[in-house]
Amino acid sequence: MPALPASSREWHLVARPHGWPRPEDFALREVPVTEPGEGRILVRNLHFSVDPYMRGRMNDVKSYIPPFQLDRPMDGGAVGEVIASGAEGFAVGDHVLHGLGWREYADVDARQATKVDASLAPLTAYLGVLGMTGLTAYAGLFEVASFKEGDAVFVSGAAGAVGSQVGQMARLKGASRVIGSAGSDEKVKLLVEEYGFDAAFNYKNGPVKEQLAEAAPDGIDVYFDNVGGDHLEAAIASFNVHGRATICGMIAGYNDTEPTPGPRNMAMLIGKRLRLQGILVRDHADLQPRFVREVAGWLNSGELKYNETVVEGVENGVEAFLGVLRGDNTGKMIVSLTR
C-alpha cells in the first residue's frame, strides 16, 4: 500500500456568524492523517458540496440537524477515492459518497459510505443531479406538491441546483407552464433557452408579485419555494384554487438577524384552499431507486440538463460557500480537490 499523506487540511467553524458569515468565522487547519481502524476507510476527497442549509448549522440552535461544533471540522456531502481500507467490502481505488466533506482526507465509518460508480456518471453528479439536491427536487415536486400533468408550476431559485431540476422535471412530466425566477439576466436566459422554461424573470428587476402575475396570467397550481419572503407572498397571490406549495428553503432569510415576517396574504389560503407543506429530503429515501432510474434515463437521453459551478481547492471552500449565499453559482456549487 502506498504511504499515506502525513496531513490533511480541514475547515473548522471558529465563531458563530451573526448575519452574513465572514471569512474570519472559519479556519483551515492541518491535522495528521492516520491509518483507518477496523471497519473504517480513509478517503481522499475529490469533491465536496457546499449547501445553503449549512448556514443554519452555523447557528447554535436546535434544528432537524445538529449545529456545527466550534473548533471541530465542518461536515457535509463528499465523494472521493478510498486510499486505505480497514473495512470488508471496500478496496483501495473504490469511489464512495459520504458525509465528511470540508476536508482533504476523511476517516469514514464504512457503514456511512456508499460506493458510487464513476463510469456511470461524473462523480460530482452524485452530489447534485443524482444526489441529495436531485432527490429534493424529485420528492418535492412529485410527492410533496402532488404535481400532476397540466399543472402550472412556479419555482424560485430556479437556476440553482434544486430549482433547475424542479423546472425541467415539471416540463418533462407535462406541466402546462413552467415559470422560474432567478437573480440575474444571464440566469433568466439560461432558464428559457437551455432548460426550456416557458417564462422566467429576474427578481431583482422589480416586485416579484407583479413579475409573477405577468409571467403566469392564468395563475399557478404548484409553487416550489427555495427562497421564502416576497416570493412566497407572490406565489400565494398567484395561486389558483387548490394550489400546493412545497416549502423547501427560505434562503432570502438565512442571514437575517431578526425573525422574518411571514407573508401578509395568508388569509388567501382559506378561499383558495391552498396547501403549504415543508420537505426534508431525508424523509424520502424510499424514492431513491425510482428517482435514480428516471433521472438517469432523462440524463442519458439529453432531456434533462444540469450545470455545476466548480471552485478548485480546499482553501477556497469557504469562499465557495459564501458564493452560494450570494448567488455566484449556476446549478450545483462544488468544491473540487482534484488538482
Q: Closer to ligand NAP by CB, 240 or 309: give it.
A: 309
Q: List the interface residues with ligand NAP, window 43-82 (CB under 6 A).
A: 51-53
Q: List the interface residues with ligand NAP, window 130-149 (CB under 6 A).
A: 133, 136
Interface residue with ligand NAP among 87, 161, 295, 311 (CB under 6 A) is 161
Q: Closer to ligand NAP by CB, 85 or 226: give it.
A: 226
Interface residue with ligand NAP among 329, 335, 336, 337 (CB under 6 A) is 329
196 and 170 in contact (C-beta within 8 Å)?
Answer: no
Q: List the interface residues with ligand NAP, window 187-206 (CB under 6 A).
A: 187, 203
Residue 202 is inside which H or E element, if any? Answer: strand 199-202
CB atoms within 10 A of CB 128: 26
- Residue 248 touches ligand NAP, criterion: CB under 6 A: yes
Region of 65-73, 106-114, 245-253, 289-297 interacting with ligand NAP (CB under 6 A): 245-253
Angle 229-238/208-215 helices, nearest 10 degrees? 40
Residue 9 φ/ψ, nearest 5 degrees:
-100, 140
Determine the size of the site formed for ligand NAP (CB under 6 A): 29
- Within 97-160, residue ranges assigned H as helices are 132-138
- Nearest to residue 188, comparing CAs of 203, 173, 172, 177? 203
Q: Closer to ligand NAP by CB, 97 or 227: give it.
A: 227
Q: Closer to ligand NAP by CB, 36 or 183: give it.
A: 183
- Residue 183 touches ligand NAP, criterion: CB under 6 A: yes
- Residue 227 touches ligand NAP, criterion: CB under 6 A: yes
- Residue 265 touches ligand NAP, criterion: CB under 6 A: no
- Residue 163 touches ligand NAP, criterion: CB under 6 A: yes
Rounded alpha-carbon distances, angstroms, from residue 177 to 103, 169, 221, 290: 42, 12, 10, 25
For the window 281-300, what string marks contact with ligand NAP as x by the rule CB under 6 A?
Answer: x-------------------
Interface residue with ligand NAP among 200, 208, 252, 276 (CB under 6 A) is 252
- Nearest to residue 169, comparing CAs of 294, 39, 28? 294
- Residue 151 touches ligand NAP, criterion: CB under 6 A: no
Region of 65-73, 109-117, 152-160, 169-177 interacting with ligand NAP (CB under 6 A): 152-160
Residue written as grid cell 465523494: 79
Residue written as grid cell 443524482: 130
- Residue 324 touches ligand NAP, criterion: CB under 6 A: yes
Residue 112 is inside which H or E element, if any? Answer: none
How far is residue 260's CA from residue 30's CA, in Å, rounded to a whole number? 38
Please name the residues in contact with 127: beta carbons below 8 A apart, sequence gap of 6 or more. 47, 48, 49, 77, 78, 79, 97, 133, 332, 334
Q: Where along the sequence are the contacts to ligand NAP (CB under 6 A)?
A: 51-53, 133, 136, 157, 159-163, 182-184, 187, 203, 226-227, 248-249, 251-252, 279-281, 324-325, 327, 329
